[in-house]
Amino acid sequence: MQNRTRWLAWVFLAPAMILVGILMYYPMVGTALESLYSTSFINPNPQFVGLALYERIFSSGEFGTIVWNSCVWTVFVVFFQNVFGFVVALLLNRRLPTSGLMRSLVLLPWILPGVVAAILWRFMYDPQLGLINSFLLRLGLADQGYAWLAESSTAMAAAIAAAVWKGFPFSTVVYLAALQNVDKEQIEAAFVDGAGPVRRLIHVIIPAMKEVIVINLVITTILTFNYFDMIWVLTRGGPQNATHIFPTKIYELGFGQFRFGEAATYGVFSILVLAILITLYFFFQSSGRRRNGAAA
């Protein structure tokens, strides 16, 4: 009987394991191998070049730009998405006549298909027809439409704002659920001790939610680092690489220019970055569980 269930366990697991193995782990190795071969549109037959592509990419200024853009993009999107998400969660956690309705509405941007959200924001930012410039013109804050996505100085900030709008609901929902798990008696006790709302937040609520916050930070970092749709539809990495991040650069090199080797070299770097983040995630998760286990 025991043997039979053990055997069955592997039958149940097999399809998931095989798919993930063939379509995720094998391609990771494949990307590393691919980065040792050079191809291009003119010369489509792969040619073994060793680490030459790494040298070429390191010595080009572009690599630094992509790393910098990816950092700026990830740090700002994650920061604003989580801060805004948390504040909104606090706001919707209050008992107000509109709270129930708002809790349903808040997820709307997150459900909206990514490409649709990006097209919508591209239109919002349009210098002539966009809503944002129209408001600025009406209010007299600008005398002509500004091309937010076409100027290197504002394109990244504009993309970040759109991504935060699309992504904060996810953080809000996770934080709302966590807020409801914070021990009510602890909050009450702090209240009786004369702690104001800010002190209750800093000394009771945030410490109680620490693990959820850390795990959510790591998850949103991973998702944001991998986020392709928004930037690709808004700017395609332009103007002049100003918004190119790892995923968009890899796609452009691979499927735009058929430089599979160079695309794979960028791929290897992003896999390394992600490997570090994933290790962090599992570390925080298991340390959180251990502490919970000790408390129980």
Partner 1 sequence: MSERWTLGRVGLLVAQVALAVIILLPFFWMVSVSLKPGTEPFAIPARLWPEHPTLDNYVSAFRPEFRTYFVNSIVVSLSTVAITVTLALLAAYTFTRNQTRLILICMVLVMAAQMFPASAIIIPIYKLMKEANLLNTYASLILAYITVTLPVAIWMLRAFMARLPIELDEAAAVDGAGPFRTFFSIILPLCRPGIIATAVFVLIVTWQEFLFALSFTSTKEMRTLPVGMNDFIGQYGIRYGELMASSVLISVPVVAAFFLLQRQFVAGLTAGSVKG
Contact region for partner 1 (CB under 8 A) — 58-66, 73-81, 185-193, 264-272?
264-272
The C-alpha angle with vertex 236 and arms to 269 and 268, in degrees rounded to 5, equals 10
Contact region for partner 1 (CB under 8 A) — 56-64, 98-106, 149-157, 183-191?
98-106
Nearer to partner 1, 31 or 243 (CB): 31
User: For partner 1, what does the binding mask look like between residues 242 and 261, x meaning CB under 8 A?
Assistant: ----xxx-xx--xx----x-
For residues 221-248, b (16+ Cβ closer than 10 Å) or e, as one string?
A: bbebbebebbbbbbbebbeeebbbbbbb
Cα separation, 244 vs 223, in Å, equals 16
Nearer to partner 1, 137 or 153 (CB): 137
Closest separation between CB of residue 185 and partner 1, Å?
19
Scan for tokens 């602890």, then name that residue.
Answer: 186
Closest separation between CB of residue 54 and partner 1, Å?
15
Nearer to partner 1, 243 or 270 (CB): 270
Positions in 37-76 near partner 1 (CB under 8 A): none
Contact, 265 vs 52, CB < 8 A? Answer: no
User: For partner 1, what does the binding mask look like between residues 186 and 225, x meaning CB under 8 A?
Assistant: --------------------------x--xx--x--x--x
Contact, 219 vs 281, CB < 8 A? Answer: yes
Q: What is the separation of C-alpha 171 from the centre of its chain, rounded to a whole number of angstroms?
A: 11
